[in-house]
Amino acid sequence: MHLDPGRLKQMVAEARGAAGYIICHSTLPYADSPVPPAVCRGFADRYRTRQLQVMDRLWGFVDVEPPDPDSTRTPE
């Protein structure tokens, strides 16, 4: 994902605060993803926020492969 300089640092700071996690860029609603938004695996592996700990205890996590970019494109 191509981000402006400093944007990743800003996203991580926000997620480690009130937000609690970052949504996987492959499943963002505006990216025409065929799956519901998912937690970013890279963020979840590195940071254990309170929100992620609660989610893990209540429901656990299911590892899924990101959607295939070719399957989200509409035929021309």
Q: In this structure, what are the phi and psi dihedrals at residue 42, rounded to the nearest 5 degrees?
A: -60, -40
φ, ψ at 39 (rounded to 5°): -75, 140
pTM listed for this prediction = 0.70
CA-based angle 36:41:17, to the nearest 5? Answer: 90
Q: What pLDDT is attached to residue 1? A: 66
Q: Which of 73, 75, 76 is nearest to 33 (CA)?
A: 73
Query: pLDDT digits over 3-19, tens only?
Result: 889 999 999 999 998 88
pLDDT in tens, 15-67: 998 889 998 887 877 767 677 788 999 999 999 999 999 999 999 988 877 76
Query: Residue 24, SS3?
Result: coil
DSSP state of 32: T
